Chain A
Amino acid sequence: MNYLPGTASLIEEIDKKLLVVLRDGRTLIGYLRSIDQFANLVLHRTIERIHVGKKYGDIPRGIFIVRGENVVLLGEIDLENEGNTNLEEVSIDEILEMQRDEQQEKQQQEEKKKKALMERGLQPHTDFHDEMY
């Protein structure tokens, strides 16, 4: 398959509905309107989608400008099969609540791990990365 070098390949994605995963773990879905050579993106009609388990919630965000370096992953959304997922949509509040819970749980787990490591005389990694920064 032939493709253009560098970010020029993104030109093919313009005006298509894309899912973009950012470096901080956020997932955006929107129409790509413009790009430049740094893969800076302009997303239109953007929603931020939060997945927790099998459930997800969408937060409308409007227009989103993403600095290219923050893009981890980007892909076109299959508009025909968009709804055919086995995921369940829930309200924003719900999903945020679930996200919080998940994070708390994770943190607790991490804490436990840390404690366990300490008990065994191991120095746990101090540079603990929270997924949401």
Chain B
Amino acid sequence: MEDTCIEKTNDFPALGAGNVNVYENELIEAPEEEEEFDLMNDETFGDIAEDVEFDWEEEHEKLAVDLEKQHPINFSGNITNDSGFHTTEKNYASQEEYMEQSLSRLVVDDEDVEEPVGLNAKKARSIPRKMQSLDELFGPASPPSFLDTERLVSPTAKNIWSFTGVDESSSAPRQPINNLQSLFAFAKATSLDSPLGFRQSSSQSPLPLPKALTVDEIESKVLNQQPKVMMAEELERKLRGEDVPDSISSSIANSHLAARSYPLRSPAQQLFSPVGHLGHTSLHGLIGSSAQPSMQRMPPSSSAPMVNGRISPLVGIISGSTPPTRTVHRHSPLLSANRGTPGRGFSQPIGIPRALSKGSLPFSPYSSPQGPRIPHSGPFTDPGHYRNPDIRHYSQLNMSSNNRYYRSPNQRSPYHYSSQNYKDQYNLRNQHYQISIKDRSEINERGDAGKVVDEYAGIMTQKEREWIIKIQLLQLQTDNPYLDDYYYTTFTIKKKARENREKGVTEEMEPKLVIPAMARLESKAYKPAHFEGSLGRLTTSSVHNPRQIIDILAKSVSQSLDNSETETKPVSRELRKSKSLLLDIERGYNLLLDVDDIEKKILALPEESRMPLFEDRSQKISQLFLYLICDGNPENFLQIISVRKGRYLLARSLPLLEKVQGECLVSMMCRNLQHLIKKDQPEEGMEIMYDSVAEVIKNVELSVLVKFSEDLLEASSQSQTKPIAVAIQNKFGSSVVCSMLHRGETLYQKTSPVDMDNQLDSSWSHFVHEFAGILAVVPDESLVPPICTFIDISNHLEQHLNKRLLAVVEDKLKIFTKSQDKKTL
């Protein structure tokens, strides 16, 4: 890209001649990436500084030097020249200066705020501390600060773990500043893009740092937080409403803020930023000042980091007006103010830069002109943590982007939640939570018991362990297993059902999965806003409404178009026919699946609200029946049944249908049994329908049974062979006949001969005779044993047949009464 740019500028010097030099200079001087950004920025935002020779970087450095000396509030000249995009994004060297400036700016702002005396007093108290660490903090370059830590927490020291000595000298005095520093780091980080999501806090994030030293740092930090006593104490104090000592409260903040994840472009940069481990100022001072009167003083159009970066913090700090080191979690006007104000940055929609939306914190360093990025929620999240000392452990030793997890999915901050809410939310969302705690403590006991003496054991606190367990369990959480893991869910359900059947559970105990969320989910259906005449659709995507990549509707439209096209093409008629048949069967499946869905929903609903769904269901079922019956057209029906897919559809639909509907279908089958058998296939043929058909036959009245038998006998046949003869030479046919005879016997046993309808009786007898007669004729070899055999069939035949005929068929009848394998009922 840059090559083309150079070429372009060289070839056409007349075009934007003024800018060419700038480009060239930068291209030559700046490293690759930066210049690309330059170009892109200039393209995007226009070259604000019109002067040809204007080198903002140089300019800026000069200014920064000035800032060290004076107090140049009237620095606005640069604001107009430099949009702030360049500087925040690229001028790393001056980052610290920005920080200083913003710091002092905030300090000044803060000063102007009329604040309770008590708070001011507190501010004053923290001054000396800051003074102490200023050199380290605001030294010309950051790397030394990195080394500082090395010196303080030397890896060569014999016992790096003993935090008492080291810690007091290194972290304790610096802690107050830490917060603000990290906040600024955040502000800076928002303008830096890192796909890797490195954490800013070099002191606590071990991963991005290349040196072993950092490990030591982490360890010391972790240990720093380690003593439980302190936390408990602090908690207690909080509960009693006492003043939390600065060291404690700031250490809490420290642990959060420093541990926040701030994306950086490269680990190397981290060395430049003193922020993570050296920052020291109270969070409240910053937010308070940015949220309060500074707003009135600043022109709303100026970009935040620049604005904040005007004044050297040295001024403010040295002059004794320091940012207040207050304990945020209690008397903080800011927190309440922020929460109380609607339309604040926290609750505003993603996608609108905070800096641009009025009513948010226009001058806070968070509102970087780069627009919102994910880390935006970072510092906003912090106060939430800050208020919840319970949760702070989660960020104590974060090895990677752990903390992100705790941001709500829509980038809003948990700031809104009170500590109780926060916990509740998690308990609600994860029922496993309680279990995991139990598990964990067990584990802990086991682990600890095994140790003889391990002074370093337990570095990972219980809370941290719980947190990891929770995270893992949350991943297994699902609202709707049918949606998230359909195949496994149905597989397990089927398996369970099979087990039940094998165990001999007579009742068809199909295990049902109740999904409470199903009922709720329905109402959540998201309809993207559509504007008339607009080309696209405005959608917000979330976990629940993932962005629609393929429009199924459009696809089906194009599909139907394709269909109409193929109609005209001379494609093989057979192929087209079978294709359209399959599509047609699909319609039936759609209905079937709809019924399935409704059934699942019904399970989740309370009794009283099920009614409408029941109606829905019966409506769908009757649609399904109408589909299957094909207006009584046997041709269509046979076609559907001739395909495996259709046979499965029928097999699955039969149990769902009303009794009469099922009988209607079976009757149609009986009538067309001969045709069906002709098309039967050895693999997954008619047999797959047997269970469903047998189920229907098992429950019919004699009248219906007789109708079936008549259907079977009357079946229109061109050939000489009788339908029953065909039937008993086919697995499915013989099975159907067999179960019909079985049903006949059961019915005859149940009803006394007196109650028996004479006409039905004679019709049935006719069928039985017919069957026996044919059975006598058909040779043994061609008889096919049915799927399910019934012993009582022989009794039944004895009743209806004369001895002579019975004697003839007795042997052959065995095939229907005695199963080759075990399946005899």
Contacts and interface: CB of A to CB of B under 8 A. Distances in A.
A12 interface: yes
A35 interface: yes
Interface in B399-457: 399-400, 402, 436, 439-440, 443, 446-448, 450-451, 454, 456-457
A91 interface: no
Contacts, number: 86
A128 B79 CA distance: 57
B472 A37 contact: yes
B203 to A, nearest CB: 14
B649 to A, nearest CB: 38
Most buried by B among A6, A11, A16: A11
Nearest to A67: B207
Contacts of B436: 4, 8
Most buried by A among B398, B454, B469, B476: B469
A34 B397 contact: yes
Interface string A100-119: 00000000000000000000
A15 B207 CA distance: 20
Given A16-B447, A31-B454, A67-B207, A37 B471 contact: yes
Given A6-B475, A12-B447, A36 B216 contact: no
Given A4-B439, A16-B450, A42-B206, A62 B457 contact: no
B212 A62 contact: yes
Contacts of A38: 399-400
Given A15-B447, A65-B215, A33 B472 contact: no
B215 A15 contact: no
Contact of B469 (A8, A16, A31, A63): A8
A49 interface: no
B30 interface: no
Contact of A5 (B155, B398, B448, B476): B476
Interface in A10-52: 11-12, 14-16, 31, 33-38, 40, 42, 44
B476 to A, nearest CB: 6
Interface string B460-492: 100011001101110110000000000000000
Nearest to B215: A63
Given A12-B447, A14-B460, A34 B472 contact: no
A6 B474 CA distance: 11
Nearest to B440: A11
A63 B473 CA distance: 29
B128 interface: no
B219 interface: yes
Contact of B399 (A6, A8, A15, A42): A42
B256 to A, nearest CB: 17
Contacts of B400: 36, 38, 40
B469 A11 contact: yes
A42 to B, nearest CB: 7
A15 B475 CA distance: 26
Contacts of A36: 398-400, 402, 468
Contacts of B155: 62
A31 B337 CA distance: 48
Interface in A62-109: 62-65, 67
B469 A34 contact: no
Given A14-B465, A65-B215, A35 B402 contact: no
Contacts of B561: none
Contact of B459 (A12, A16, A34): A34
B140 interface: no
Contacts of B451: 15
Nearest to A37: B471
Contacts of B216: 63
B458 interface: yes
Contacts of A33: 456, 459-460
B803 to A, nearest CB: 67
A7 B456 contact: no
Contacts of B448: 15
A67 B196 CA distance: 13
Nearest to B155: A62
Contacts of A65: 206-207, 215, 399
Contacts of A5: 472-473, 475-476
Contacts of A35: 399, 460, 468
Contacts of A62: 155, 212, 215
Interface residues of A, number: 25
B454 to A, nearest CB: 6
B397 A15 contact: no
Interface string B381-399: 0000000000000000111
Contacts of B447: 12, 14-16
Given A16-B447, A42-B215, A63-B219, A34 B473 contact: no
B443 A11 contact: yes
Given A11-B469, A15-B451, A34 B460 contact: yes
A42 B456 CA distance: 12
B215 A11 contact: no
A34 B397 CA distance: 8
A27 to B, nearest CB: 19
B454 A4 contact: no
Contact of A15 (B218, B454, B468): B454
Given A14-B447, A15-B457, A8 B473 contact: yes
A68 B402 CA distance: 14
A4 B472 contact: yes
Interface in B206-222: 206-207, 212, 215-216, 218-219, 222
B456 A31 contact: yes
B465 A11 contact: yes
Given A36-B400, A63-B215, A44 B469 contact: no
B456 A34 contact: no
A36 B401 CA distance: 10
Nearest to A38: B400
A82 to B, nearest CB: 14
B459 to A, nearest CB: 5
Contacts of B460: 14, 33-35
A65 B398 CA distance: 12
A12 to B, nearest CB: 5
Contacts of B440: 11
B457 A37 contact: no
Contacts of B468: 7-8, 11, 35-37
Contacts of B402: 36-37
Contacts of B212: 62-63
Contacts of B218: 42
A109 B446 CA distance: 49
Given A12-B447, A33-B456, A34-B397, A40 B207 contact: yes
A63 B397 CA distance: 15
Nearest to A4: B469
A108 to B, nearest CB: 34
Nearest to B448: A15
Nearest to A33: B459
A45 to B, nearest CB: 8
A34 B475 contact: no
A4 B472 CA distance: 8
A91 B439 CA distance: 43
A33 B218 CA distance: 12
A30 B35 CA distance: 46
B202 to A, nearest CB: 13
A12 B446 contact: yes
Most buried by A among B207, B399, B454, B476: B399
Interface of A: 4-8, 11-12, 14-16, 31, 33-38, 40, 42, 44, 62-65, 67
Given A34-B222, A62-B155, 6 more contacts: A4-B436, A5-B476, A14-B460, A34-B399, A36-B468, A62-B215
14 contacts: A5-B473, A8-B469, A11-B468, A12-B447, A15-B448, A31-B454, A33-B459, A33-B460, A35-B460, A37-B471, A37-B472, A40-B399, A63-B215, A63-B219
- 3 pairs of A and B residues whose beta carbons are closest in the complex: A8-B472, A6-B472, A15-B457
